[in-house]
């Protein structure tokens, strides 16, 4: 039997609703970070609290990569998505038939298995059009 392990500890949670990314928020000035920051780079406060991030955001930019990556077969799309919290995510994009990527379009965070490693299913996130 294989275990599901996050690509980076504490970065996400899985639940019946499909899961969510976990960042943290500065309790002093309200800035939100992903991945979690040890302290706020805005005001240097160390008063941080875990924050469950929105599952939807807007596509800021994207590109089609033709270069090989360690776990991705080219060509593959990667892009940036801006969440309402002010966080800009960077991740591989999932294509949906008849929904070409367009800057500004609504995107969703998808938590899913990225690859198998030994006995583990490595879980990470991708972004796809809503
Ligand atoms: Zn702060």
Q: pLDDT of 49-105, one tens digit each? A: 999 999 999 999 999 999 988 888 899 999 999 999 999 999 999 999 999 999 999
45 alpha carbon to ligand 1 midpoint, in Å? 5
Q: Answer whether 0.75 is exceeded by the pTM.
A: yes
Q: Using CA atoms, how far apart are residues 117 and 51, in angstroms rounded to an integer?
A: 29
With 90 as the cut, is the pLDDT of residue 124 above it?
yes
93 Cβ contact partners less than 8 Å away, ≥ 6 residues apart: 62, 76, 77, 78, 79, 101, 107, 126, 127, 128
With 80 as the cut, is the pLDDT of residue 1 above it?
no
User: Domains in the chain: how many in total?
Assistant: 1
CB 108, CB 55: distance < 8 Å: yes
Q: Which residue has 């299913």 as its token pair?
A: 121
Give CA separation, 26 vs 19, 113, 114, in Å.
23, 30, 30
Range of the domain at 10: 3-129
37 alpha carbon to ligand 1 midpoint, in Å? 11
126 alpha carbon to ligand 1 midpoint, in Å? 28
39 alpha carbon to ligand 1 midpoint, in Å? 8
């Amino acid at each position: 039997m294989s275990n599901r392990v996050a690509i980076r500890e504490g970065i996400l949670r899985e639940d019946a609703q499909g899961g969510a990314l976990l960042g943290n928020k500065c309790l002093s000035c309200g800035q939100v970070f992903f991945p979690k920051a040890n302290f706020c780079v805005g005001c240097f406060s160390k008063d941080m609290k875990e924050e469950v991030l929105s599952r939807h955001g807007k596509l800021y930019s994207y590109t089609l990569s033709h270069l090989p990556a360690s776990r991705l077969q080219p060509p593959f799309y990667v892009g940036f998505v801006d969440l309402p919290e002010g966080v800009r995510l960077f991740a591989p994009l999932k294509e949906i038939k008849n929904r070409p990527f367009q800057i500004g379009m609504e995107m969703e965070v998808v938590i899913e298995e990225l690859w198998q490693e030994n006995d583990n299913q490595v879980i990470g996130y991708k972004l796809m059009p809503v």
